[in-house]
Amino acid sequence: MNGSVGWADAGVIIPYVLWKQYGDIGAIGRKYDGMKKYAEFMISRCGKWGGPYAKPIKIKPELNKYLVNCGQSYGEWAEPEDFYVMKWTDFCEPHPEVSTAYTSYIMKLMIEIAEALGKTEDIPLYTEYSEGCKKAYQEMAKQKNFTLDTDRQARLVRPLSFNLLDGPQTEYAKKRLIKALENYGFRLGTGFLSTPLILDVLCEYDADAAYKLLENEEIPGWLSMPKNGATTIWESWEGKNVRSGGVASLNHYSKGAVCRWLFDTMCGIRIAGENHFVLKPLPGGSFTHAKAEYNSIYGKVCSSWQKTDEGYSYSIKVPSNCTAEIVLPNGEHLSVNSGQYTI
């Protein structure tokens, strides 16, 4: 019951995010030995048979060594029951689609981390398994049991977010994700792992779809929770009305990760190095205004936008001793120093 991808990976992902968020290379330097051991653990599961609960998968023999079809994994976890009802076997069986995807992704992060720390001797192994697992994933996606022709949104969001597909597969998955959303009334169909990723994926090629999903007030969806009296985030999209029995947690963070998107995309506040920000607001949907304030270690950063008769008005505040690159939706770039600006 150890090492479930998406959970155990926190030992790599959290130091990586801290490094990227604050530019503090010590966040990865202090944890590198542990991250390396975990990467080696992930590699040790590649190519092994996962026992009686493992799903039979036939891919090219040379790619079998990169397929992760053993070890306990929770999988996507808590998708809407319309798509997948969890069974007791889900706690003990391998989930090869999720595990192979995360192994490739974590190895890709380890390459970047090793390069930054000068651990060049480790890079060839990480590269082999990042690319190997990616190719194994592409082969697996051609099989009926793991097809991209699906309404299960997580199956499309994950490979798009992690850049796991080849060119034709990528274009197909983008179109199929929009179709999956349309088929489900633009309600959310993701679980724990893909919910924080879906709006970012959509914004890459269809920001209108991202806003349509964000604003949907029907179950399952973010706004359906407060509409149904919630004051916290539910573990299950269905809240107290879980059909499969029992009541899931009614105070769970994972699906509330959308709040990060409100800060760094809707209002566009992103740290981009020491004492430097990129402010790239993205108005959309039926919203008439949005505002975010971030109490950074450099001081308070403010970004807001307001819909007007002529278009949009932007208000930006950059803290003292800092600089910022303002990127407007029309592509215009403005370099500014500390101060308050209305555009």
DSSP code per residue over 191-229: -TTTTTTHHHHHHTT-HHHHHHHHH--SSSSTTHHHHTT
Q: What is the pLDDT of residue 21?
A: 84
* Percent above pLDDT 70 for the chain: 98
Torsion of CA 208, 212, 215, 221, to 10 degrees: -130
**In the predicted structure, residue 244 carries a pLDDT above the cut 70:** no
The pTM of the full predicted model, rounded to 2 decimals, is 0.94
Token pair listed for 281? 């607001």
State the pLDDT at residue 87. 81
pLDDT band with cut points at 50, 70 and 90 for residue 92: confident
Provide the pLDDT for residue 1: 63
Q: Considering only CA atoms, which of 249, 297, 253 is closest in space to residue 277?
A: 297
CB-based contacts of 332: which residues, under 8 Å, 6+ apart? Answer: none
CA distance 236 to 98: 19
Q: Is the pLDDT of residue 245 over 80?
A: no
Structure confidence at residue 2 (pLDDT): 76
Residue 111 has pLDDT above 70, yes or no: yes
How far apart (Å, rounded) are the C-alpha atoms in residues 3 and 221? Answer: 29
Whole-number Å distance between alpha carbons of 98 and 162: 11
Q: pLDDT tier at 273 (50, 70, 90 boundaries)? A: confident
Please write the tens of the pLDDT for every residue from 298-335.
999 999 999 999 999 999 999 999 999 999 988 899 99
Residue reference for tokens 């808590």 = 78
Give the tokens for residue 68. 């992760």
**Amino acid identity of 61?**
P
151 pLDDT above the threshold of 70: yes
What's the mean per-residue pLDDT of the chain? Answer: 93
pLDDT of residue 143: 93
Instruction: Give mean pLDDT, residues 53-59.
Output: 86
Range ranked top by mean pLDDT from 36-40, 74-78, 80-84, 310-314: 36-40
pLDDT band at 46; cut points 50, 70, 90? very high
Burial of residue 320, with CB atoms counted within 10 A of its CB: 0-12 exposed, 13-18 middle, 19 or more buried: exposed
Please state the rounded mean pLDDT for residues 185-201.
96
Neighbours of 204 (CB within 10 A): 11
User: Sorting pLDDT into bands at 50, 70 and 90, what band is 187?
Assistant: very high
Evaluate if residue 146 carries a pLDDT over 80: yes
Mean pLDDT calculated for residue range 8-36: 94
